[in-house]
């Protein structure tokens, strides 16, 4: 390798799996120096972001808070075994994944780690006052090259007639931000709405995204973004569904595009994809997935007179297939070209889990 130009070496290494590169750091000091070079780290991350994502599992049962890694490229080659990974904290909630880094939080603090390189850092814990509740998001500004945590904090209120709805014009949520490297959180003031809790964070174009909760007298919702560079909120255009009033209950990211899911009549999913960010006319209905009950759960549901399929979309792949999760218990691959379903049976998979799409990287903290 010493006879190759440095740029050729970087290009070759940038296409290798992150696990191979991590192991190669042990060969010698020269290799360690090359693999820790920021040019290689950024080039490798760029390639991984264009590839099919991996998946991180957090088990809820039978053993809580164990973590597993799955590479779908290896799965397609016949490897159906989940790889158990260790993280630096126990009994923590998984916030999300960003550039190969995972964010967790518990009562003792917030933890950021790269599960493949083992790099980790502990951050100032959340400083909520009595009677406060909220949600935490983790993202990256491609402009300032900063990682940030964003907390949306609400005052707890006594349940009313319809406790799961919120009058969006009566709520004031405080917004707090922590930039990695800073010693303390900053308050940005309040925002006059409340957001639906997302299964996982949604970051597109350096912005985090939420759906507002509907009000008491309306089912209308808004898509709201938070720019991690300017730290400003902005409304994002929703799909034009004609005369139909569709309730979009989940935002997600598919192949780098902001996407929105709504239920269809058969108990399945409609998924709309915004092909050009914040261009209303670029929304298209890309998936219309009918109801399907995974084989693994049919025996459990056969006692029910009306067994239902409740899907959450996790991610999509370059071949057009989309990964669906059913009630945190089963996984299904949907092929829109052939309108077919494939139940995924994974060795060592937990019976009940949370999962997030993940891009393996060499990113350090």
- Which of 178, 170, 108 is closest to 136 using CA atoms? 178
**Per-position pLDDT tens, the chain of length 365:** 667 788 888 888 998 888 888 888 888 888 888 888 889 999 999 888 888 888 888 876 767 777 888 777 666 555 566 777 777 666 678 888 999 999 988 877 888 999 888 888 888 877 777 777 788 999 999 999 999 999 999 876 544 433 333 444 457 889 999 999 898 999 999 988 888 887 778 999 999 999 988 765 556 788 999 999 999 999 999 988 764 567 777 899 998 999 998 877 666 788 999 999 989 999 999 988 887 766 665 554 545 444 445 678 888 988 889 988 877 778 888 999 998 988 887 776 766 778 888 888 888 87
**Helix count and strand count (H, E) for the chain:** 6, 24
Q: Which two tokens stand for residue 72?
A: 């779908």
Indicate the burial class of 153 (C-beta count within 10 angstroms; 0-12, 13-18, 19 or more): buried
E strands in 115-245? 120-123, 132-141, 146-155, 173-179, 186-191, 203-204, 207-211, 223-227, 233-236
Alpha-carbon dihedral 125, 127, 131, 136, rounded to 10 degrees: -50
Three-class SS string for 216-283?
CCCCCCCEEEEECCCCCEEEECCCCCCCCCCCCCEEEEECCEEEEEEECCCCCEEEEEECCCCCHHHE
Report how far residue 290's alpha carbon sits from residue 359's, in angstroms, rounded to the nearest whole number.
29
CB neighbours of residue 97 within 10 Å = 24
- For the chain, the distance separating the N- and C-terminal CA atoms, rounded to the nearest angstrom, is 29
Q: DSSP code of 350?
A: -
Q: Read off the pTM.
A: 0.84
**Structure-token match 């995972």, residue found:** 102
Indicate the burial class of 147 (C-beta count within 10 angstroms; 0-12, 13-18, 19 or more): buried
Quote the Cα angle for 356-45-210, to 5°.
40
- Which of 65, 120, 59 is closest to 90 using CA atoms? 65
Quote the Cα angle for 335-318-113, to 5°.
110
| Residue 261 DSSP SS3 | strand
């Amino acid at each position: 390798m010493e006879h190759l130009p440095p740029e050729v070496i970087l290009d070759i290494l940038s296409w290798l799996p992150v696990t191979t590169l991590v192991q190669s750091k042990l060969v010698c000091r020269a290799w360690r120096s090359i693999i820790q070079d920021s040019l290689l780290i950024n080039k490798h991350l760029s390639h991984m972001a264009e590839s099919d994502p991996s998946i991180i599992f957090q088990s809820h049962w039978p053993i809580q808070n164990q973590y597993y890694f799955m590479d779908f490229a290896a799965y397609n080659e016949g490897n159906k075994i989940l790889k158990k990974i260790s993280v630096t904290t126990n009994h923590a909630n998984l916030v999300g994944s960003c550039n190969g880094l995972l964010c967790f939080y518990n009562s003792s603090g917030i933890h950021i780690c790269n599960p493949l390189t083992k790099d980790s850092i502990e951050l100032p814990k959340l400083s909520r006052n009595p009677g406060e509740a909220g949600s935490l998001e983790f993202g990256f500004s491609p402009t300032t090259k900063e990682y940030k945590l964003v907390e949306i904090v609400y005052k707890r209120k006594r349940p009313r007639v319809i406790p799961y709805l919120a009058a969006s014009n009566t709520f004031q949520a405080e917004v707090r931000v922590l930039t990695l490297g800073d010693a303390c959180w900053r308050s940005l003031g309040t925002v006059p709405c409340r957001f639906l809790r997302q299964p996982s964070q949604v970051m597109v174009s350096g912005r985090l995204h939420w759906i507002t909760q509907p009000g008491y007298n309306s089912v209308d919702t808004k898509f709201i973004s938070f720019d991690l560079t300017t730290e400003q909120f902005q409304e994002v255009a929703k799909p034009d569904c004609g005369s139909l009033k569709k309730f979009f209950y989940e935002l997600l990211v598919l192949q780098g595009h902001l996407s929105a899911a709504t239920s269809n009549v058969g108990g399945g999913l409609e998924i709309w994809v915004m092909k050009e960010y914040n261009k209303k006319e670029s929304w298209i209905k890309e998936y219309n997935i009918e109801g399907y009950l995974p084989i693994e759960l049919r025996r459990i549901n056969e006692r029910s007179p009306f067994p239902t399929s409740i899907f959450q979309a996790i991610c999509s792949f370059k071949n057009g297939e989309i990964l669906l999760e059913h009630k945190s218990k089963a996984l299904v691959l949907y092929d829109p070209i052939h309108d077919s379903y494939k139940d995924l049976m994974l060795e060592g998979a937990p019976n009940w889990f949370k999962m997030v799409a993940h891009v393996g990287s060499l990113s350090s903290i």
